[in-house]
Amino acid sequence: MTFSVSAELEELIRQKVKSGLYDSASQVVAEALLLLEERDQLRALRRDRLLHELANGISQADNRQLVPSDEVFAHLLDQANVIDR
């Protein structure tokens, strides 16, 4: 397979090989693609989790299992603080 990359990406690939961490440009590209696949899978998992949480929330709202907004926002702030740490 043959493909073209920008001059900037070509230089980045050369630098990665020059660093000694990779034996070839092909190895750099293969590692990059594996990382891209991992990132895509993580995004899909996050999307699925969000859709699941939304479905739960809709179901709870339909059943009048509502939580006051101040409690919701406090919980969201707590979660955001945990992520920032």
Cβ atoms 38, 44 nearer than 8 A = no
Please write down the HEC assignment for all residues of 44-83. HHHHHHHHHHHHHHHHHHHCCCCCCHHHHHHHHHHHHHHH
pTM: 0.65
76 vs 14, 44, 80, 82, CA distance in Å?
44, 21, 6, 10
Q: Of how many residues is the chain composed?
A: 85
pLDDT band at 50, cuts 50/70/90?
very high
**pLDDT per position as a tens digit, 9-24:** 999 999 999 999 999 9
